[in-house]
Amino acid sequence: MMIVVSRDYDGLRIAALELMNEEFQGEDRDRLARRAKAGAANSEAMLAEAAPARSLADGYYVRADYLFWLDDVLRATTIAQMSAAEVHGLNAVRRARDQFRMEHPNCPHCGAMNERIKIICRKCGKRTSTDKRH
Is 117 contained in some domain?
no
Identify the domain containing residue 63 by its residue range: 8-103
Return all residues near 37 (Cβ < 8 A) that are at least 6 apart: 43
How many separate domains does the chain show?
1
Is 49 contained in some domain?
yes
Contact 24, 97 (CB under 8 A): no
Return all residues near 106 (Cβ < 8 A) that are at least 6 apart: 112, 113, 114
Is 115 contained in some domain?
no
Per-residue model confidence as pLDDT tens for the chain (134 residues)? 889 999 999 999 999 999 999 988 887 777 777 777 777 677 777 767 767 789 999 999 999 999 999 888 877 665 556 778 888 898 899 999 999 999 999 999 998 989 888 899 988 999 987 555 54
d(CA 30, CA 51): 10
Is 15 contained in some domain?
yes
Is 87 contained in some domain?
yes
pTM of the prediction? 0.57
Is 42 contained in some domain?
yes
- The pLDDT assigned to 134 comes to 45
Is 89 contained in some domain?
yes
Is 92 contained in some domain?
yes
